[in-house]
Amino acid sequence: MSAAGRRVRVLHLDHTGAAGGAELALVRMLRAGPGWAAVLQTPPLESDPNVWDAVPPEVPRRAAGIRQPAGASSGGPLAVLGFGARLAVQALAVRTSAAFRSADLVDANTARAAAYGALAARLSGVPLVVHLRDLVEPEALGAAGHAIMTRVVLPRADGVIANSRATLDSARPHLSGDAVAEVVPSASGLVVGADRPLAADAPLRRVGMLARIDPWKGQAELLEAFARAFAGRDIRLQFAGGAPFGHEGYLAELRRRADELGLGAQVDLLGHVDDVPRLLEGWDVAVQYSTRPEPLGQNVLQYLAAGRVVVAAGEGGPLEWVADDVNGLLVPPRDVDALAGALRRLDADPELRARLAGAAASTPGLLDDAAVARAHLDVYERVLAARARA
């Protein structure tokens, strides 16, 4: 609550209507009944329907500015120049909007939204909270995006909400000394404490990866490892996730490679899946195998809460949740042979699968969406209290 006894008014900024992880996390949190008065503002969106159609009707949706196409910060000099110009136009549109003028606090849901949100909030007196879902590194953000994040956004941020300690640690050198900084997992639709045990004598029938189709998410590496472990077996591989942000070509490459490996009849490309708990109930082994350190994919938390056997790359944010041979298996990153070996080990040992799955569901610290929303409200209130003291 604000000092006046009313709910805090939070303006949520996002730059796209695509169903990316950040967007789905915000939708889930707003659907969980947050304890603040939320307004969602985006640029005009090209896609209709879009991910925001799932936002509850009591959350006002506002459009301002111009479209923010994907990938603009990582092109050549002209692309970067256009990217900067679009950010400036968007910042002015946000700053002059009625939604901004009435907000107690601005929450930037993506790195792009943080860039124009920081410009809009500068000298305005409205505190800015930034979500960090990528490591603050050039490889993750692009050279231009990294420069803007470290020189413009993070020094200006009154608060940051990071999805893992690894993500927050990558941002700390660039934060002001009085910024509120907290680790809160993204809202992932978790059903915490659900009992979906794997039978100790059941055969392995289905392996899956839940992640958007993107070269760095590791679908190609899992496909190769699966072929080495299970080609010609009565075992299926399922990839669940859409191909936003211009990765339709990579999706086609995965289909071609599956055929080349003789896996066409064993591999399912499911596209975006809304009912994640039901999807995971059908999997025996769930894999995260990003090709660069993963800040913390929501999929790891979803796998654990669902009580699946988790296989994850042994670096980045997943190390904060998965203990090797305790509640999952950690595999050396970017090592297809090691990943294939882990899959073979799980296939040969159903008792191991049952033990890991049971421990996964009991992993401490897992939060449902309502708990994630309460943690966000605590950060908002701390930011506002710090601003009032200043």
Judge if 240 and 323 occupy the same domain: yes
Residue 149 has pLDDT above 70, yes or no: yes
Q: What is the average pLDDT score of the chain?
A: 93
> Does one domain contain both 262 and 335?
yes
**pLDDT at 6 > cutoff 60:** yes
Confirm whether 198 is domain-assigned: no
What is the band of 243 on the pLDDT scale with cuts at 50, 70, 90? confident
Per the domain annotation, does 242 fall within a domain?
yes
Query: Per residue in 300-328, pLDDT tens?
Result: 999 999 999 999 999 999 999 999 999 99
Q: Residue 264 — pLDDT band, cuts 50, 70, 90?
A: confident
Q: Where are the alpha helices (DSSP H) in the chain?
A: 21-31, 77-95, 98-101, 111-121, 138-141, 143-148, 154-156, 165-171, 219-230, 248-260, 276-281, 298-305, 336-348, 350-361, 369-389
Q: What is the pLDDT of residue 4?
A: 54
Lowest mean pLDDT among 46-55, 71-80, 160-169, 187-196: 71-80
Question: Are the CB atoms for 40 and 30 separated by under 8 Å?
Answer: yes
The per-residue pLDDT for 297 is 76
Whether residues 296 and 181 share a domain: the answer is no
Mean pLDDT of 239-259: 90
Confidence of residue 103 (pLDDT cuts 50, 70, 90): very high
Mean pLDDT of 93-112: 97
Whether the pLDDT of residue 244 is over 90: the answer is no
Q: Are residues 317 and 168 in the same domain?
A: no
Domain membership of residue 122 as a residue range:
9-187+368-389
**Residue 318 belongs to some domain of the structure:** yes
Q: Is residue 180 part of a domain?
A: yes
Question: Which pLDDT band holds residue 191 (cuts at 50, 70, 90)?
Answer: confident
CATH number of the domain that residue 79 is part of: 3.40.50.2000
**At 199, is the pLDDT very low, low, confident or very high (cuts 50, 70, 90)?**
low
The rounded distance, in Å, linking the Cα atoms of 53 and 312 is 32
Examine residue 27 and state whether it is found in any structural domain, yes or no: yes
**pLDDT value at 193 more than 90:** no
When divided into structural domains, the chain yields a total of: 2
Q: What is the mean pLDDT of residues 123-137?
A: 94
Q: pLDDT value at position 333?
A: 97
Average pLDDT of span 244-250: 83
Residue type, 253: E
Share of the chain above pLDDT 90, in %: 83
Structural domain includes residue 195: no
What's the pLDDT at 3? 46
109/58 same-domain check: yes
- What is the band of 75 on the pLDDT scale with cuts at 50, 70, 90? low
The dihedral through the CA atoms of 272, 285, 354, 370 has a sign that is negative
235: phi then psi, degrees, rounded to nearest 5:
-135, 135
pLDDT interval class at 195 (50, 70, 90): low
User: Is position 194 within any domain?
Assistant: no
Whether residues 161 and 246 fall in one domain = no
The predicted pLDDT at position 196 comes to 64
Domain contains 65? yes
Average pLDDT over every residue of 367-373: 96
- 286: pLDDT strictly greater than 50: yes
Same domain for 331 and 250: yes
307-331: b (≥16 Cβ within 10 Å) or e: bbbbbbbebbbbbbbbeeeebbbbb
Q: Do residues 353 and 381 both lie within one domain?
A: no
pTM metric for this prediction:
0.89
Q: For residue 137, is pLDDT > 90? A: yes
**172 with 222, same domain?**
no
Whether 17 and 64 map to the same domain: the answer is: yes
Same domain as 74, residue 219 = no
Clarify whether residues 309 and 380 are in a common domain.
no
